[in-house]
Structures are given as structure tokens and as C-alpha cells.
Amino acid sequence: NSEQNPNTEDLITRQNKAKKGKKKKKFGWLYLFVFVFILALVSVSYLVKYYSPDVDVAIGNSEELTLNSADIEYEIRPIDERLKWIQMEDEMPSVSIKKEKAKSYDYLFGEQNSKGEISKAKKEIDAILDINPDYSQARVLRALLLSKNKDFLGAKKILEENIEKGFDDVFTRMSLAKVYTELNIFDKAKNLVSDVISKNPENLSYLSDLADIYIKEKNYDKALEIAQKILEINPNYILGDILGAKTAFMQGDLETAKDYAQDAISLDMNSSDGYYYLALVRKKMNELDEAIECMKRAILYDLNNPKYYAKMSEFYKEKEDYKTALEYISEAESLDNSNEYKFMYSELVKLNRKIKN
């Protein structure tokens, strides 16, 4: 109608402007969402690179991501989160490698390390090597599996070959350092770990590994120095207290060892190692019953650790309860059929026969 009054025209004009304003707001929110999304992608890419400085991660290159993903997981994710992180379809061989490798990590590093679990790990590693026989990280896993079975020379051979072929990454170096330590090649072990630490000076896991080498070398002063450094960096890092307890106990400083063990337990009431070292201290203090109670807790919180059962067997042997001692050493031997546990088992069998006769 050409005779519309001015008030109606003003209303229509205002409505049209409001509609345009709403469109602008909608587009504004859309632009903001796109910007945030892009920023998130860039941040994730940066975090992956930041937490894996020794790994050349090529975003968009699935093969590169595959070859290095488990290293990243091992460094920044707890064991029980790794499998959740890699829930992907088996659409390509590289993804299969990634999934199989995650499983192998879980079997090799997780709490469940019985003979059955180790056989599962072997199956997973074989699956990786069927896909790619030269896959260096799978070869490292094979070496770790050999180490689990006490074949340290076989593990050493694989890891040294990896380095000779140019696969000189952190995972390989740290694994080889552990093997050198088991073979009492301490200088080479320390050199490997120290070199890694030089690039990651506050990495608590690497510092802990270095302290362990010094403990095996019986250089307890140096080990305790590293344990104290770890706790200075992070007072709530429980492994620092465990290392302190272990080192002080080896030095015969029972009160200090007791304090470290109790600190570990205060950080984690389910700390099996905390209770283990507290049990050792109680035993040395001639508090055998208290030691047994502590060791029971250590076993409760880690049912697959043979050294806990073996030590409990020693406690009951001292109490002259040879039947219970035999039960515990039998459990240790079933988890780890090493010569040490076999010998302890045979000795207790003889003692039980004498009692029956």
C-alpha cells in the first residue's frame, strides 16, 4: 500500500536491520568457532611435538605417526590409558601396527606380567613383525620380551643392531641401558641414560632410571643424591621416595629408609613398593610380625611380583613355619622360574619332609 504511514515504514526498517544484525551475529559465532577449532588443532600438534622432542612427527603422514605413536604414549600417558587412546579401525597396516604395538606395551609394562601375559605379548609382537619385519620399534619390544625371559644377551644384540642401523631413538637407548644394567655394564648404561637426560634434564622417569643404575652399581651416595633431586623437582613423585627408601636401606640407614617408605605410602596408600621396603626395614628392626603384615599389603597391591612372595617365604622360614614358607615360594616360582626361586623351593621341600619324618 503506497499510503503506508511513517510509523509502519519505520517498524519494517527496524525489523530488516535486526534481521541483518542477527545474520552478522550468526556469522560472527561461526567465524569464532572455526578459529577456535583451528587453534585447537595447532595446539595438539604442538603438544605432540613438545612431549616427544626426539621424534619427528609429521602431521598428516600416517606412517610417521605410526612409527612413533607408541613412544609418545609411553612418555606422556599412563599404561591404562594407552589402549583407550588408540581405538581405531584396522583400515590400513600402519594402524594395525599401532594397535598391536599398544597391546604389546600394555602386556610388557603393565602390572599383569604372568607367563600367560608374556605369551600374549609375543603373539602381538610377532603380528607386528609379520607386517613389517624391519619395524625398529617392534624389534625393541622383542628385545624387552627377551629381557623378561632373562635373555639379556639376546636383547643386547637386537638393541645394538637397531642403533647400528640408525634407529637411535630414546626408547631404544633407554631399553639398551636397562639391558646393560642387568649385565653389569654400568658405564655404558650410565652414558646412554645421561645423554638422554642432557636433552631432558627434569624428566623424572629418566632420572629414576639413572638412580637405579647407581644402586645396582652399589654407588648408594650418588643414587640418593638423584633421589633427592627428583623430590626437589616434584615432592609428590612417589618413585623418588621409593628410591630414597631403597637406597637408605642398602646403606643401613633404617630410620631414613622407614621415613621414605612411609612418605611413599602417604602419597599412595596402595603403594606395593612402599610397603615392601617398610617390611624390609621392620624385619631389620627385629619386628618380624609387623614386617609380615607390611609384606601382606605389598602382595595385596601387586599380586604378580615374585620377589614379594619370596621375601614373605623368608619371613615365615625364620618363624619356622616351613609349610607357609613353602606356599609362598611356590607362588614366587610359578611367576618366575629362575634358579634362585627353584633353589629356595627345593630347600623348603627338604625342610618340610624332615618335619613330617
Q: What is the pLDDT of residue 49?
A: 40
Instruction: State CA 125 to chain mean position distance.
Output: 18
pTM of the model: 0.68
Angle in degrees, 0-180, between the axes of helices 136-148 and 170-182, rounded to the nearest 10: 20
| Res. 138 pLDDT band, cuts 50 70 90 | confident
| pLDDT, tens digit (0-9, with 9 covering 90-100), for 105-132 | 666 765 545 556 677 778 878 888 888 8
Q: What is the pLDDT of residue 94?
A: 60
| pLDDT, tens digit (0-9, with 9 covering 90-100), for 228-267 | 999 999 999 999 999 999 999 999 999 999 999 999 999 9
| Res. 148 pLDDT band, cuts 50 70 90 | confident
Backbone dihedral region of 34: left (phi > 0), alpha (psi from -120 to 50 degrees) or beta? alpha
Q: How far apart are CA 148 and CA 115, in angstroms?
A: 10
